Amino acid sequence: MRAITINLRKLLAVITVLASASAYAQEVTLPYKGLTLNANLELAVGKQLSDGVILITHGGLAHREMELIVYLQKTFKERGYNTLAMNLSLGINNRHGMYDCAVTHRHTNEDAADEIGVWLHWLNQQGAGRIVLFAHSRGGAQAALYLAQHENPVVKAVVLMAPATHENTDAADYLKRSRQALAPAQLLAQQLIKSGKRETVMRHVGLMNCTDTSATAKSFNSYYGINARVDTPSLIPNIKPPLLVIVAGSDEVVVGLDKKIASLADGKQVQMKVIEGSDHTFRDLSADDAVDAVSAFLKGLGNVALAP
């Protein structure tokens, strides 16, 4: 009887260790320009940051705890990949959850790209020498903007999942979302900026998912200005690492992405995978199909990227 008790204790100890290893998750925070940034780190069983990591960026005014991001982290972890899912601050200290449209928008498209760079730097400092930059929707366009402006050797591969295009912030989209014409607000923002009043607040404007909100001229112009750098396809030619664009076959938000990427995809430097039947948030089994595509892409690169 005593021998059985000892064996059971040993078994429970092993189970406890395994459970702890498989459930490793940690919120990471770091200071940046007077704000606290936060992210969720998930390490696969038996892995360390030195084995490499996938840095995940959410879309638009969303957050890292949205269903898609949580599921991606879980599924990548099961496949043996480490992940770090960041929250863009959007100008809010230690932000969690969706952006509150009642709060004046002071963030810019460029701020998001800069914060991606901050987390890449942090990961590199922690010894993660091989990083895959993964981003969804608006975050995809912001990741593309960062990479088009910076050659960062720690980024070994890029995955853009239903990345935003110019049409997501053009006059037609703005009219559909906010039920007002873009040109007057666009002109006002430009005039304020030219007169040195970029921090002046514009009221009753639309900004992404916020249909009636307030935003500084600088913030509004960064997303809706004539020269706003918000179009992923136009940024892709300036991206150096191997890149995979995942297209949602039934995307109701980023429409016609497959046609835009097809002319850029050479099957080597730029690859494209269409997940047939998927909506913009990759519900049901579409997210699994996307992870399959990412895994195949990374394995095709060998040790250049990540090999679980």
87 part of a folded domain: yes
Q: What is the pLDDT of residues 244-302, one digit of tens each?
A: 999 999 999 999 999 999 999 999 999 999 999 999 999 989 999 999 999 999 999 97
Please tell me the total count of domains within the chain.
1
pLDDT interval class at 307 (50, 70, 90): low
Q: Is 305 a residue whose pLDDT tops 80?
A: no
Q: Is 169 a residue whose pLDDT tops 50?
A: yes
Give residue 5's pLDDT. 37
Give residue 284's pLDDT. 85
Contacts of 257 (CB under 8 A, 6+ apart): 162, 163, 165, 245, 247, 248, 251
Domain carrying residue 147: 2-165+230-304
25 part of a folded domain: yes
For 72, 96, 206, 264, 285, the CA distances from 236, given in Å and listed in that order, are: 23, 30, 27, 8, 28
267 part of a folded domain: yes
81 part of a folded domain: yes
Give residue 210's pLDDT. 97
Q: What is the CATH number of the domain that holds 249?
A: 3.40.50.1820
Q: What is the pLDDT of residues 50-82, one digit of tens each?
A: 999 999 999 999 999 999 999 999 999 999 999
- Structure pTM? 0.90
214 part of a folded domain: no
Q: Side chain identity at 27, as an amino acid letter?
A: E
Helices marked H in the chain = 2-22, 67-78, 109-125, 138-149, 171-178, 182-194, 217-224, 232-235, 257-262, 286-301
Give residue 302's pLDDT. 79
251 part of a folded domain: yes
Give residue 196's pLDDT. 98
Q: What is the pLDDT of residues 135-163, one digit of tens each?
A: 999 999 999 999 999 999 999 999 999 99
Number of neighbours of residue 198 by Cβ within 10 angstroms? 16
Give residue 306's pLDDT. 64
pLDDT > 70 in the chain, percent = 90
Q: What is the pLDDT of residues 125-142, one digit of tens each?
A: 999 979 999 999 999 999
Give residue 206's pLDDT. 98
- Which pair of structure tokens corresponds to residue 278? 């998927």
Give residue 254's pLDDT. 98
The per-residue pLDDT of the chain, averaged, comes to: 91
Q: Is 209 a residue whose pLDDT tops 50?
A: yes
150 part of a folded domain: yes
Q: Is 2 a residue whose pLDDT tops 80?
A: no
204 part of a folded domain: no
* SS3 of residue 42 by DSSP: strand
Contacts of 5 (CB under 8 A, 6+ apart): none
